[in-house]
Every structure is written in structure tokens, then in C-alpha cells.
Amino acid sequence: MRITAFIPVLFVLAPLSFGTAIQIPAGSLSVSGVTSGAPFTYTGTLTQNDTLQLIVSGTPCLQNPPSYCTNGAGVVVTAGSSPVGAQTSFSGSFNGTSSTWTYGSLLLEISGVGTVQLFQPNAANGLGSGAPPTSLTLTSSTLSGLGFGNFSVVNPTLTFVLADTLYSDNSGSFTLSQSSSTPEPSSFALVTLACGIGGLLLRRRR
């Protein structure tokens, strides 16, 4: 049996670039509501093809006494100046990115690249609900899919931030954790490639 017929297929597939999963240090990270964020350094080259997957729990509060507490999408779970299930927004700049942000939502800053809001206030994340979820899951998503453009940076600083304009009256924090239940895109690609080659070899043998 000869397998030289499959070599061109491998050469065609070889240049394809698959992203790698971003790992949160120690598997979890606390994002305080009273600071400017929780940073860590990504070692290596980060591009728009790399992926992020996490669970955000906790309900930091933006008003004192503890009220206007939100989930990761900025949806109110403890009433304050707005009722449960509501959201409010503001215009501002984070890490050089100017946009309209949701108060109390979770942002991701990448140094030299920009900032995106990871969860949107919608019905799935509790908007309009009388009992919004306090834990939200971000399934494996590429950075380009999250809203970052095409980029390539070496050893960037990644910072998770609570979106707000005044932090002195805040309390509480978000807790970020990771689950390995969903394989990253490169794993799917390798499994698919292996199955495809195996099938071709069996067919050739027959």
C-alpha cells in the first residue's frame, strides 16, 4: 500500500492556522469592583485566532450601600437606581477604545490592541427578567469573534475590567474560572484530519 497520494493533502492543510486557548493563571481570577482591573501577561504571540472560554460568577455592586449589583453582562440582579433585570450604559474609553459600555459588565483589554465587552445585556443573560442569572458562560470563542480585529502581539497584558465610571463606592467582585468541557478549535481540526486520513487509507486498502 502506498500513501504518497495523501501527501499533497497534508501539504495543503499544513499552512492552516488554528488558535490556541487562552489560559487564566491558576485556573481562576478575581476581578474586583473597586480597582481598575485584574491583569496578567500572556506569554507568546497572541492573535485574533486564539480563543477564550470562561465562566463568570459573582455580582459586584456599583452603589453604596451595596446595591445596583450586576452579572457579567451588566444586568441588574440587586436593585439600586435601576430595578432588577434592567441595564444602563455610558460612553467612555478603556485601553484606547472608545465605545458605549454597559455599567457593571465584564470587559477584556488587550494591551496594544483594544477592549471589548464580553457579554451583552440580552434576554439570554437576564435582561428584562425578574431573576437574572448570576453566572454566565462564554463558550470557546475566537478573539475576532468577540470583536477584536486582526492583530498579532507578543507577550501582551490581558486585563479583565468591571465597566464603570466611579469605583470608590463599589463593592464585591467577579470570579472568572475555566472549564475544559469544550475542545478548542485546533483539537476539532486535528480529530477531523485524523478521521479523514484514516478513512482514505481504509478505502485505499479495500
Task: Please give the distance of CA 63 from its chain centroid, rounded to a whole number.
Answer: 26
Would the pLDDT of 154 be above 90? yes
Q: Model confidence at 38, in pLDDT bands (50, 70, 90)? A: very high
Beta strands in the chain (DSSP E): 28-32, 38-41, 45-47, 51-57, 61-63, 67-70, 76-78, 89-94, 97-102, 106-110, 114-117, 136-142, 152-154, 157-162, 173-177
pLDDT digits (tens, 9 = 90+) for 108-146: 999 999 999 999 999 999 999 999 999 999 999 999 999
Would the pLDDT of 192 be above 70? no
Beta-ladder partners of 117: 107
Domains of the chain plus CATH, in order, are 22-177 (2.60.120.430)
Would the pLDDT of 13 be above 70? no
Q: Model confidence at 36, in pLDDT bands (50, 70, 90)? A: confident
